[in-house]
Structure 1
Amino acid sequence: MTHLSTNQIQKFNQDGYLVVNDIFDSENIIDPIIEEYATVLDDLANYLYSKGSISSNYSELEFGDRVTKIYLESQATYNQFFDFSLPQNGIEADTPFWAGPAVFNALTSKGILDVAESIVGSEVYSNPVQHVRVKTPESISPRDEHGNLIGDIKTTPWHQDSGVINKEADNTNLLTIWFPLMDASVENGCLQVVPGSHKGNILTHCPQESGTQIPEKLFNSNESIPVPIKKGDALLLTKTTVHSSLPNISNRIRWSFDLRYQPIGQATGRNAFPGFIARSKSNPSSELRNPKIWYDMWKNTRDSLAIGEQPKFNRWDGKHPVCA
């Protein structure tokens, strides 16, 4: 992958989103992530089996079928075990997270950073608002006593990325790079976007049980389009592009990363969490290239927040009339 073309940048600025094909070599970037997460799932499965939460560790199953089986049998979700960020509340000294070397290699891969540089400039900072998403098939996912899906496997509601970070970053040139670890289709819950919605302001978001979301009375969801993409491709979004995910009505998981990049020195919108310099043409020696240091940054943050006052991550209180 090289930098974006002038036409690609113009289309991104016009539509608020852009699909980029072959952003990196799946064999060298994505496949090692899948192998790394298999070991994380091994540890989780063995832990749950030892507790009696599941009847087998299901080691004979591949990742997608295995995580689906474990979630369904235990009637719980464990996405935080895989995430390379901390939760927005309830951080404790043993809160799980995964910041492994294969994940770090994806964040700092040439293809990703070439694309980021095309949008935010040559001084590229890795914003700490970053996640892995594992969406199991809704038909075989755990539900509460009311029949509602539980945990992070629910569809992601309509939102703008600027609406789920603090307002200190309202002037930050924030780029989202979303990519699947396996093909993302309409059936297994790819993203959907509202083209051109980025040209407006930050819309009011309302805190709901399903997540912070924009009431549909504030935009025209009928103008939305699904954006299925292949493994190895990526979807770029501006910070004000209205988007959500579709439900996973397939029989396989939807598995994706969402990463964010910005110019060095601008506010991240989540300053309690650690970001890092991913690329600097003016000072290459400042670039972080050691995955162990990255892991330690997150561990130290967890340890500090677990014993101190935890910051407020949400700017919305739900009191706006549109939230009624």
Structure 2
Amino acid sequence: MLSEQQWSDFEQNGFIRLGRLLDTEAIAELTQRADDLASGTQVNPLIQMQLDTGGDYDALPQAVSQLAAGTHLYRKVQGLENDELFAPLVQHPLFGEICARLYGSHAPVSLFRAMIMNKPAGQGTYLPWHQDGGDVWALDRDPLVTIWVALDPATRANGCVEVIPGSHRLGLLSAHGSTLSEADMQRHCPTEQALPLELEAGHGLLLHNWLIHRSGINPSNQPRRAFTACYMDGRTRSVLTGNHFPRVSGQLDQAPHHYVRQLHTDLAALRHSHESAEGYAHSLVAEVARLRSKLEEVEIYVKSLEQERANRAPVEAPAPVQRGLFSRVADALVPRSR
């Protein structure tokens, strides 16, 4: 349980140390599972991996369900709420307490992501100053809670997380979120304010998602692996799909929002109107076909009358009124365009 002083420090600085959360046995078990998933020794179709290229952060490859070749040079293993060894860590009671404090005890809690972040030995990708939130996350509200647990010692030498204390109180510096602009980096991230958050293996951090942070490469001969999970108000939806995210705790009203219900009502009315218009159009097509058939019958009948008259008086020119008989009959049935 966190003390009021810890919560006060969190409000002031945007992070707090949570102390030891995993023992040595659990650390060994979880690091081995992460490596096994990345190498393909352990296969789970619900989990994805991202290769670490050691290059430009913006040029990183997409996460995939299986790396082309088993390797320990991975940057990310995500979807760990679907792994039997990591799932209990996702449900850690302390994390639930934190979410209840920040989102309210009434609010259900959902999970945006649970993953291993790795900086392979002698490599690792430089992660520039950024904030976790904004439009790039495609959520209808910003999450506030990220838990970070070291599975290897996190040090300055192997690319530990660095933060700008108190920067969460600036709010999101960009509606888009993610990487800061060059101007914001110069304004808010002076070198003397950057604080490295070194951690022993098994120890954890609570980070506010708006806290400006970064991490370097890992030139050491040991990997720097860490478990990280982002928790949200359970009512959060994807703006791309309208769906909720995996629920961790609490009850969630699955009924759609009132505006979504109204959209469904409007859509049903539009569909009914479309079906009615389509039915009327089909009836017009059928009526035109009927009239054309009738017209063909009249044409045949008129031609037979004309032929009969021609046979009776071959030398007598038909009177104008008789020559116009077909036209008058046809016009009566289907008005001709002029």
1:126 match = 110
Q: CA deviation at 1:42?
A: 5.0
**Aligned 8 A contact 2:236 2:245 in 1:** no
Higher-RCO chain (CA-CA 8 Å, sequence separation at least 6): 1
1:221 match = 190
Pair 1:12-2:7 in alignment: no
**Aligned 8 A contact 2:145 2:206 in 1:** yes
1:204 match = 174
Q: CA deviation at 1:253?
A: 0.7
CA distance in 1, matches of 2:91, 2:165: 28
Q: TM-score, normalised by structure 2?
A: 0.56
After TM superposition, the structure 1 stretch with the greater mean CA deviation from structure 2, 180-189 or 127-136, is 127-136
1:74-114 CA distance string (max 9 Å, x none) = 9994445x3227xxxxxxxxxxxx93111212111223323
For residues 136-215 of structure 1, what are the structure 2 equivalents within 5 Å? Answer: 136-138=120-122, 141=123, 153-163=124-134, 165-166=136-137, 168-169=139-140, 171-204=141-174, 212-215=179-182
Q: CA deviation at 1:165?
A: 3.9
Residues 200 and 185 (structure 1), Cα distance of their counterparts in 2 relative to 1, 3 Å cut: same
Sequence identity (%): 21
CA distance in 1, matches of 2:201, 2:101: 22
Residues 270 and 239 (structure 1), Cα distance of their counterparts in 2 relative to 1, 3 Å cut: farther
CA distance in 2, matches of 1:158, 1:40: 29
2:222 match = 252
Residues 263 and 274 (structure 1), Cα distance of their counterparts in 2 relative to 1, 3 Å cut: closer
CA distance in 2, matches of 1:137, 1:206: 32
Pair 1:117-2:100 in alignment: yes
Q: CA deviation at 1:183?
A: 1.4
1:22-45 CA distance string (max 9 Å, x none) = 2x2335643432232343255369
Question: Following superposition, which runs of at least 4 residues in structure 1 exceed 6 angstroms of deviation?
Answer: 73-76
CA distance in 1, matches of 2:132, 2:241: 15
Residues 214 and 228 (structure 1), Cα distance of their counterparts in 2 relative to 1, 3 Å cut: farther
**Aligned 8 A contact 2:39 2:71 in 1:** no
1:160-183 CA distance string (max 9 Å, x none) = 0014744644x4452111111111
Q: Which has the higher helix share?
A: 2
2:34 match = 37
Residues 29 and 117 (structure 1), Cα distance of their counterparts in 2 relative to 1, 3 Å cut: farther
1:84 match = 79
Residues 247 and 42 (structure 1), Cα distance of their counterparts in 2 relative to 1, 3 Å cut: closer
CA distance in 2, matches of 1:34, 1:176: 20
Bigger Rg, which one: 2
1:100 match = 83
**Aligned 8 A contact 2:238 2:244 in 1:** no
After superposition, the CA RMSD in angstroms is 3.6
Q: CA deviation at 1:5?
A: 1.2
1:41-93 CA distance string (max 9 Å, x none) = 553699xxxxxxxxxxxxxxxxxxxxxxxx9x99994445x3227xxxxxxxx
